[in-house]
């Protein structure tokens, strides 16, 4: 399942507005008939837009010192955003059951 996300990250006191698609992972299926088995798929975040001061930039325009941690920071922020979405969904479902 792919979820579009928007969030802000800060690296070295610089604010970046990030947009992208988060794809959840899937555990491996390793038992049963071989035709029903498949490897684990890891979750990942694909960046579709980076904005600095409202201007869209490419990853190649990031300062070299920030490039190594940029994708990692985006993935961590995406995972936090997904967790918040899950909690919101669970709370909404609980409210429906109470009504």
CB 59, CB 73: distance < 8 Å: no
Range with lowest mean pLDDT among 20-24, 27-31, 67-71: 67-71
Residue 34 is predicted with a pLDDT of: 92
pLDDT digits (tens, 9 = 90+) for 63-86: 777 777 787 888 888 888 888 877
Q: Is 78 exposed, middle or buried (0-12, 13-18, 19+ CB in 10 A)?
A: buried
**What is the span of the domain harbouring residue 23?**
2-98
The total number of structural domains in the chain stands at 1
In terms of Cα–Cα distance, which of 52, 42, 50, 51 is closest to 22? 42
Structure tokens at 33: 């008939």
The Cα–Cα gap between 93 and 99 comes to: 10
């Amino acid at each position: 399942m792919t979820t579009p996300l928007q969030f802000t990250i800060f690296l070295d006191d610089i604010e970046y507005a990030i947009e992208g698609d988060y794809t959840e992972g899937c555990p491996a299926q390793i038992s049963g008939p071989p035709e029903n088995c498949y490897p684990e798929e890891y979750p990942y975040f694909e960046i579709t837009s980076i904005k600095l001061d409202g201007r869209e930039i490419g990853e190649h325009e990031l300062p070299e010192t920030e490039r190594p941690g940029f994708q990692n920071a985006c993935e961590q922020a995406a995972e936090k955003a997904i967790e918040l979405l899950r909690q919101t969904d669970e709370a909404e479902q609980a409210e429906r059951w109470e009504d």
